[in-house]
Structure formats: structure tokens, C-alpha cells
Amino acid sequence: MNAVKRIYQRDRHIFRLIVMIVAWMIFMAITRFDKFYTVVNFQTMAGQFPEFGLMSLGAMLCMITGGIDLSSVGIANVTSILLALFMNAQAAKSESGDISVAMIALVFVMAVCIGLVCGSINGLLISKVKIPPILATLGINQLLTGVCMVVTGGNAVSGLPAAYSASINNKILKVVPGKRGTMQGLIPVQLLFFVVAALLVWFLLMRTSYGKKLYMMGTSENVARFSGVKVDRMLIKTYALSGMLAAMGGMIMLANYNSARSDYGNVYTLQCILIVVLGGVDPKGGRGKISGVLLAIVLLRLLETGINRFPQISSYYITLIWGAVLLLVMVLNYFEDHPIVKRK
Amino acid sequence: MSDYLLKAVDINKSFAGVKALQGVSLEIKPGEIHCLAGENGCGKSTLIKVISGVYQPDSGYIEFDGKRYSQITPLGAIAMGIQVIYQDFSIFPNLTVMENLAFNTELAAGHKLVNRKRMRKIAEEALSKINFDMELDRLVGSLTVAEKQMVAICRALMFNAKLIIMDEPTTALTKKEVSALFEIILKLKAQGIAILFVSHKLNEVFEISERFTIFRSGKLIVTGDTRELDDKKFSFYMTGREFENEKFKPSFESQGNVLEVKNLSLTGAFEDISFGLRRGEILGITGLLDSGRTELALALFGIRQATGGQILKDGSAVTIKSPRDAIACGIGFVPEDRLSEGLFLPRSIGDNIIISEIDRLTKGPSVLDRKACQAEIDKWVRELAIATPDPNNASSTLSGGNQQRIVLAKWLACKPDILILNGPTVGVDIGSKHDIHKILQRLADQGMAVIIISDDLPEVLENCSDLIVMKGGRIVATLDPGETDENTVLSHMM
């Protein structure tokens, strides 16, 4: 009980997110225990959320600077489409009609590079040309989506080499008993990508001078400039990082859908912003923890999957519930910052 | 009828167990200019809020115009004739002068439709009360601080004020504007209006007030005639400490200029500025607000780029295009506005101290060395005697003087050769001001070159070894602070 109290006192926001997750888990346990609490269900969730989870991490970094990144989905799609075409071309050239593991590794390096370039353009527009982040990233998003449409003619790129999806959309640690005595993997590969990225972002924020400067700059760009922080370079770095994370998200999408199209993941643009705000990052910048964002990602995934277990509830309600949860958290935050003083 | 317009008697007020006011009393005669002085946090503002009805006292009572009140509401205070002009003036920057002046009257009269003719008439009447001339259609946002203050005063006068309380009205004003304000105050006095003038500036207290009251830590220390007050007593009452004002004499021996500025110009701000600075010297630069002194500082620190001329560090020419370049040249800069340039207010004291040298406190590529960070923070908190129980607290929890020490610590941590301070003691209490001066003198004696940019003349005269006076972007005089006085400097400034 004391531990609970400590968490509450240290960070009420995170405490509330935990309470909501626990409450929802209990609710699901009472109503749909056998359909919700299965290994497969949790594996499915863990395979899905890294798509937008990776983008949310990038969005969080940008929001800590006091900016916003609306180009994640555009970057993700341009990455997945270009690399899907590349892999198809490579597979066509090879004799086996498939690609090697080394080729998959190369593809990921290329993905990171594409994300780096796109994100850096965002950063340059924001820091050097002084375009407000919301407009710069929205513009880049439109531009990249346009590139995707022109390249694909609006069609999906499919028929990917089997090796790609087989290695990314897969599970490792074969301990779960499957059919006919075989063993199946426990942990989805997509989750590994996400965990590595999350650890990296945590390390950057909490343990490096970059992280410290990022929070300071988000608090006041002007003071940071007067303190000798290279504000322009910090902004370019941050948006580049966000671009790289978005590109990784695109690669996960490519594996999950086994195809790429210019309008995949459109809802993620706003969903990422919702997650970041829900996770307690201050839209004005300077404040926010990765733990909050992680909890928000998990909460949203649990909510959506949980609701899907009730066939009588239309999936249209999911949007409604997300909106309600977001508003509830914001209202609670408001009252935390402005406590109601009881008059005598 | 008593002799006093206002009597606040034995007022007590606590906030969450902290005693902000402990049995304080204040008496103001009709038509007198009374000065309420005290350092930050001494309870001045709390008492004003009690008088104007914003706070209710825990005990004690207020007598106004012979009537005794145990509680006052904000509306009640206005009806009685008490008006407060706060530091931020509470005026609408996006409305015109006329609209601002007429707003309250229009609201009070319950007019739902806008009648520009009627509003103009109200506004003109308000301005005529202090013979003040101003275009009524200008946006208040475009006015200077002094003009805004006049608008606030005019508005206060519209409610048949008997007592006007001004909360630190001179903070953002230039010398000229302060004189103009004092003239207005004297006019108001002539009309029989009492003024409660809140300030912690000694010279203002002497210049304007007839009687004074000084608070310290929520207690009344002394009240009496200003004629019986002098510098030493004033500082003592304010702080409870005795200060000996030592004039700075450079003791550090050095040859050659560490910094030399040759014909430096920035179009539209300053022109043809040349001076040299040796280690161990404190150079004062003074001038009016529009003299280009701030722009010169910004150009030396790389926030703005000079358009002509040369900066030499240790004899060799350097280009300073950004604050990073300046830091690399060994220049530190304490900016003018602590709140928007100097300090990350919501962030911890520790973070604020190490931000400028953070790239050095790492092991490997940019991984923070947390032990080194903590050691550095502890060192500077101790060295500059920053009064905090925990350096992890937000900087906003500290007083102005302690906040300024954080900014100072940030730059000293970078071990600069040259430290430029723009208004080093603005908004800082007397005790801290004295301490900061001592620190600067000590730094110079240890071999640092210091530039103090300030329009606080006693400050530059006392602490500097050389004094440059700027006017209209040019150097108009170079003086020896030991052989000049305030009036001479003023005559060059104006």
C-alpha cells in the first residue's frame, strides 16, 4: 500500500494512467476473461502497437521541444513504399525469388537513412526558415504522401518477398506449445524493435546532455539561446530522430500488412499526438516522461482490443472512447494544476 | 474624525502556517505621500492586498475615513476610494487608450452598446485631471511603459480616489520617466489625494515621500519622517545588517587588454564603439534605455551580430556570431531580463547552473557524468551562498537575489575570462545586491575582466574602475568613477 502511495505522490499523472489500465484489466477480467486473457491476444497486441508506438516516441521528443511532428505517417509510408519496391526488385533479380537476411538488415539501415533525411528537412524548415512546426511538418506530410501516391499510382505495393514478413512479423523464444507438439514463439519481433527504441529514447532523455538540453530548450528557447545552447542544431537533431523512429514504424507496418500503400496508418497522425498528450507531455514543451507515454500507448491498445471483444459494440465507439479518455485526463490534469480551494 | 485617512491596525495574516504579516500597522494622513519599503517577501504586497480587499486579514482592522472595517471587499475598497496600480498595470494592450479609460465606467453603468462619443468624453475628462496629453486612439500595446502607467493612473483617478497605492511603479521606468511620474504624484498630492508608494529603492524614498514605513519579514520595523532617515539607517532597517560601502580599487596586476573593441558598429543601434579592458578591471557602461548599451552587450555575446568594427581577444581578432562563439572566447553574459533570458524558471536550480557547461560534464560522447554534475551544482550553491534547502527545487521558488546568483553561477561555472553583466542587480533586494557587488569585486581581484552595464549610477560609480557613458549609440564620455559624481554622469547621459 505504501508503494502505491509513493507512486501517487511522485507522479499523479502516471498514477492515474496505471489506475485506468488496472481498472480496464479488471473490467475485462470480469466480463470477457476467457476471450481477453489469452497468450495469442496479448501477442497480437504486442505485435500491433509498435507501429504507432515508435511514431509516438518521435512525436514525444518533438513535443518536449514545444513543437509537434505531424509528418510521422508520411515518413513511415514513403519509407515502406520505397523499400517495398526496392525489396521486390531485389527479389526479382535473385534466383530464389526471395531476399537474404543481410538484405533485410540493409533495408533497415536504408529506412533509418530515409527517416533521417526527411526528419532533417523538417528540422531545417523549423530552425532555419522559422516555419512553425505544425505547418512545416504538415507540409512535409502532404508532400511525402503525394510522393507515395505518384510512385504507386495510389495502389498498394504487395507481393513482398516472403522472408521479410516472415522475419519481422514473427515471434521468438519458442516456449509456447502449438499444434501437434510443435513449439511456438512467445515474443513478437515487432515488440523487440519497440523495446530497443524505447530504451534508447529513455537513455537519450535521462542520461545524456542532449536530453537535458532538450528539456531546458522546451522550457524556454530564448533562455537556452542565451545559455549557449545551439538551439537550431538541437531542433534539427530532434526532428531527425523523430523521422528515424517514424521510418522504423513504417517498416513494422510493412511487415504487419505485408504490403504498403500511401494511405496506410492515416489515423496514426492524430493518434500519436493523443498518446503523447495523454502520456503527460506538456504541449507547451519542457515537460513529459517516457514512462507516461509508454503507459498511454499500452492503455489505448488495451482499450481498443478490449472493446473488440464485445461483438455487440460497434468499433466506431472506439474513437468516441479515446476522445473521452483524452478529455478526462486533460480535465484531471487541469484540476491538479488548479486545485479547488474550499472556502471557509 | 481622526487625523488619519487610513489606519491599518495590528493586522495578522498567515498562508498555510506561514506568517506573512505579524501584527503590522500602517497610518496614512490625507494628502500625504507615504513610502512603504521592505525587501522582497517582507509582506508589503500582502498588506496592500489586505487594504484593497483582495485578502481578508486573520485579525486586526482597518479604519478608513474614520469608519472602522474588519473586512473589506475589492469592490468595497474601490467604492471607498482606494485604488491600486499594480506593477503590470492591469490594462488591456489590445484596446485603445480611450477604450481602456472608459471601460470600467461603461461596465459600471451597464451600457450594452458601444457609444464611441460617450467613451471619448469619459476618456478626455480622465486625462484632463492630471493635464496629461495623449492620443486617445493609440493602442495601449504600442505605448511605452511610462505611458501605460499614466493610463493606469488616469483610470484610477476616475473613481474619486482618496488613496492611490502604487506597487513598485518605477521598476521598468527610465530616469526621465521617473521624474515625470514624480511630477504627477506631486500634482495628485496637491489635489488632496494620498499616495502609498511601495518601493525598495532608497533614492526614490528620499526624493518623493514625506513619511515612511519599513517592513521586514512580515513585521513593522520602523515608521517615521523621511527627513530623519539616511542611507545607512535605511539599509539597516531593510535588512537588519550593516553594510560598509567599499569603493572598488583594482588590485590585480595585468598587462595588455584581454578584450579590445575597435570601432564596433551595429546599424540602427550603436556606432563606432572602441574601448579596451584589462584583467582585474571592472568597466561600467551606462546610458539611457535607448543609448544602445543593451545592443552593445548583445553584440559582444553574439546574440546580435555587429555590422562593422573588430573585437580582439588577447590581441587577436575574433568573430562572434553566436553565444557559443562568445563562450568559446571566454565571454560570459548575465542578461538584462532574468525571467525571459537568464533563467529557466520552472526547472531546477541545479539544471540552471550546469546548462551552459553541460557539454563538459560528460563521459564518453555526451553521456552525462551525474557525479560531476552534482559536484558542480553543490560547489556553486555553496560558493555563491544560494539560499535553498535542495538544489532540485525549481528556480521559481527563490527570491530575485537568489535567482540572480543562479545566473551568475551558471556563467562562473564556465570559467570565463570576461563576464558581461547587463543590469546585474535589477529587481534584487539590498542585501543580495550588496553581496553580488562583493562577488564581482572579488572576481575582478582574482583576475577576471568584468563589464557592468547599468543605469543604477551608485552601482557603477561604486564598483567600476572605468566608466563609459553612451548616448544615442555613441560613447559620449569616458570617466574615472573616483573623480566624478552622479550629476556629472547624468549630464552626459541626458
How many Cβ atoms from other residues are within 10 Å of residue B16's Cβ? 4
Tell whether B281 is covered by a domain: yes
Question: CA-CA distance, B27 to B58, in Å (whole number)?
Answer: 19
B57 touches chain A (CB under 8 A): no
The CATH number of the domain holding residue B264 is 3.40.50.300
> Do B291 and B433 belong to one domain?
yes
Pair B338, B404 in one domain? yes
Best CA proximity match to A251, nearest among A82, A69, A92: A82
Residue-wise DSSP of B273-292? EEEEE-TT-EEEEEE-TTSS
Task: Name the residue among A207, A229, A230 with its Cβ closest to that of B355.
Answer: A229
| Cell numbers describing residue B164 | 492611490
* B474-479 sheet: strands from edge to edge: B331-334, B418-422, B449-453, B282-287, B466-471, B474-479
Averaged confidence pLDDT in chain A? 88
The pLDDT confidence band at residue A180, using thresholds 50, 70 and 90, is: low
Domain chopping of chain A, boundaries: 11-337
A210 at the B interface (CB within 8 A)?
yes
In a domain, B268, yes or no: yes
Same domain, B148 and B291: no
On whether both B264 and B187 belong to a single domain, the answer is no
CA–CA gap between residue B248 and residue B21 (Å, rounded): 38
Span B436-465, pLDDT tens digits: 898 999 999 998 999 999 988 888 888 999
Residues A227, B361: C-beta atoms closer than 8 Å? no
CA-nearest residue of chain B to A214?
A: B355
Same-domain pairing of B342 and B195: no
Q: Which residues contact B190 (CB under 8 A, 6 or more apart)?
A: none
Domains identified in chain B, total number: 2
Whether chain B has a CB inside 8 Å of the CB on A286: the answer is yes
State the burial class of residue B8 (Cβ atoms within 10 Å of its Cβ: 0-12, 13-18, 19+).
buried
Chain B residues 410-429 within an 8 A CB cutoff of chain A: 410, 414
pLDDT higher than threshold 90 for residue A128: yes
Q: Contact A225/B340, CB-based, under 8 Å?
A: no
**Measured between CB atoms, does A2 come within 8 Å of chain B?**
no
Task: Return the closest-CA partner of residue B221 out of B209, B213, B229.
Answer: B213
B174 touching chain A per CB within 8 A: no
B282-287 and B449-453 beta bridge pairing: parallel
In a domain, B244, yes or no: no
For chain B, give the mean pLDDT.
Answer: 85
Contacts of B335 in chain A (CB under 8 A): 226
Boundary residue ending a domain (B239, B269, B298): B239
Is beta strand B466-471 parallel, antiparallel or unpaired with respect to B282-287? parallel
Say whether both B282 and B415 belong to one domain.
yes
* Inter-chain CB proximity B342 and A224 less than 8 Å: no
B92 and B48 belong to one structural domain: yes
Per-residue pLDDT tens over the stretch B367-424? 888 888 999 999 999 988 888 888 888 888 887 788 889 999 999 999 999 999 998 8
User: DSSP 3-state assignment of B14?
Assistant: strand
H helix intervals, B274-344: 293-301, 323-328
Which pLDDT band holds residue A203 (cuts at 50, 70, 90)?
very high
Q: Which helix (H) or strand (E) holds A51?
A: helix A39-64
Choose among A207, A216, A230: nearest Cβ to B367.
A207
pLDDT at B2: 58
Q: Hey, is the C-beta of B333 within 8 angstroms of any chain A C-beta?
A: yes
Please answer whether residues A124 and A54 qualify as being in contact, where contact means their C-beta atoms are separated by less than 8 angstroms: no
Do B368 and A209 make contact, defined as CB atoms within 8 angstroms? Answer: yes
Fold of the domain spanning A11-337: ABC transporter involved in vitamin B12 uptake, BtuC (1.10.3470)
Residues B263 and B129 in one domain: no
Residue B250 included in any domain: no
Report pLDDT digits (tens) over B289-339.
Answer: 788 898 999 999 999 998 989 999 998 899 999 999 999 999 999 998 888
Do both B346 and B444 map to the same domain? yes
3-state secondary structure of B22: strand
User: What separation in angstroms does the CA of B408 have from each of A222, B338, B402, B425?
Assistant: 17, 11, 10, 11
Strands B308-313 and B316-318: antiparallel
**Nearest one of A56, A76, A67, A17 to A270, comparing CA atoms:** A56
With residue B64 as reference, give the H or E element that holds it: strand B59-64
| Three-state helix/strand/coil letters over A71-139 | CHHHHHHHHHHHHHHHHHHHHHHCCCCCCCHHHHHHHHHHHHHHHHHHHHHHHHHHHCCCCCHHHHHHH
Structural domain that includes position B349? 259-493
DSSP three-state, residue B113: coil
- Residue B274 domain-assigned? yes
Q: Are residues B209 and B270 in the same domain?
A: no
CA distances to A334, B397, B449 from B17, in Å: 26, 17, 46
The residue of chain B nearest to residue A210, with distances taken between CA atoms, is B366
Q: For chain A, how far is it from start to end, CA to CA, in angstroms?
A: 32
pTM: 0.79
Tell me what pLDDT residue A89 has. 92
A220 part of contact set with chain B, CB < 8 Å: yes
Q: Does A224 touch chain B (CB under 8 A)?
A: yes
State how far residue A287 is from chain B, nearest Cα, in angstroms. Answer: 10
A212: pLDDT strictly greater than 90: yes
Of A211, A227, A286, the CB nearest to B356: A227
Tens digit of each residue's pLDDT (9 = 90 or more) over B154-200: 888 887 788 889 888 877 677 777 888 888 888 888 888 899 988 87
How many angstroms separate the CA atoms of B36 and B26, rounded? Answer: 9
Q: Does B322 touch chain A (CB under 8 A)?
A: yes
Residues whose CB falls within 8 Å of the CB of residue B205, separated by 6 or more in sequence, listed in order: B35, B37, B197, B199, B212, B226, B229, B234
pLDDT 10s digits, B341-351? 889 988 999 99
Q: Are residues B296 and B220 in the same domain?
A: no
Of A209, A216, A228, the CB nearest to B344: A216
Q: Which three cell numbers stand for residue B262?
A: 575597435
Q: B360 and B442 in one domain?
A: yes
Using the CB atoms, write b or e for B314-341: b if 16+ within 10 Å.
Answer: eeeebebebbbebbebbbbbbbbbbeeb
Look up residue B305 and give its amino acid.
Q
Q: What is the mean pLDDT of residues A138-163?
A: 92
Residue B252 placed within a domain: no
